[in-house]
Amino acid sequence: MTVGLVFVSHSSKIAEGLVDLARQMAADVTLVAAGGTDDGGIGTSFDRVAAAIDEADSGDGVVVLCDLGSAILTAETALDFLDDDSRARVRLADAPLVEGGVAAAVAAQTGGDLDGVAAAAGTANASAGADDSAGTSQAPQAEPSSSSGYSRVVSIVNRDGLHARPAADFVKLASTFPVRVTVNGKDAKSLLAIMALGLVRGRDAEIATADPDGKEAVDALADLVASGFGED
């Protein structure tokens, strides 16, 4: 079982599209769209949100993400009608719907618990406020020097660069290792941080760790990048 996700939007198409997007990175996670009104219009529906929360909860809990203010009110109302045990397994994420939803989906796919998945969604807030120049710097930001550190530099070979799907695969692999690894100075386990680097084809990525036990992780991640993630 994994933590489930519910996407609440004023538009059914937006919610359904986000499910399609997140499913590319989180095939084993229950993703439920709760968009639009009961009659298919623009707005939100208490019944749809309540049913989506119930559908998404496999026992490990549910993280709910919303687009606009009234969607949050609808979700909060749905939570108020849950019994205490069910309500304790739901987190209403303070995060943008798309970026937060993608980050949460990857966290759930990699086995994150309820609070961890909600926290992953929240990283989208920090990314939204980051300097836009983060992805345009040509020079890698090195991991702090350490006599026991290890790093490799590999070039991005994917035609479309390190876009969402390969970035998600990279983060999933990084999350299997207990050590801290960075990519051009950014946390290798943060999907949004990796995507914000803007690593296009031909750009170098320095994968590094200061952990004396981190060589295996760096080599595995560097080999994955060099392989092109199985893309043509």
Q: Return the closest-CA partner of residue 192 out of 61, 95, 112, 73.
A: 95
User: Using one digit for the tens of pLDDT, what is the confidence trace for 164-199?
Assistant: 788 888 988 998 999 999 999 999 988 888 888 889
Residue 132's pLDDT band (cuts 50, 70, 90): very low
Residue 231: DSSP 8-state: -
Amino acid at 186: K
What pTM did the predictor assign?
0.76
Return the CATH number of the domain spanning residue range 4-128: 3.40.50.510
10 catalytic, yes or no? yes
**Can you tell me the mean pLDDT for 60-79?**
95
> Which is catalytic among the residues 2, 3, 7, 10?
10
CATH architecture classification, 133-230 = 2-Layer Sandwich (3.30)
At 104 the pLDDT is: 94
CA distance 158 to 215: 24
Q: Which residue has the higher pLDDT, 121 or 132?
A: 121
Per-residue pLDDT of 34-55, as tens digits, reads: 999 999 999 999 999 999 999 9
The DSSP bridge partners found for residue 186 are 183
Q: Tokens 């208490």 — which residue?
A: 46
Provide the residue ranges of all domains of the chain, joining segments of one domain with +: 4-128, 133-230
Provide the pairing of β-strand 182-183 with 150-155.
unpaired
From CA 79, how far away is CA 223, in angstroms rounded? 45
The helix (H) or strand (E) run that includes residue 92 is: strand 90-92
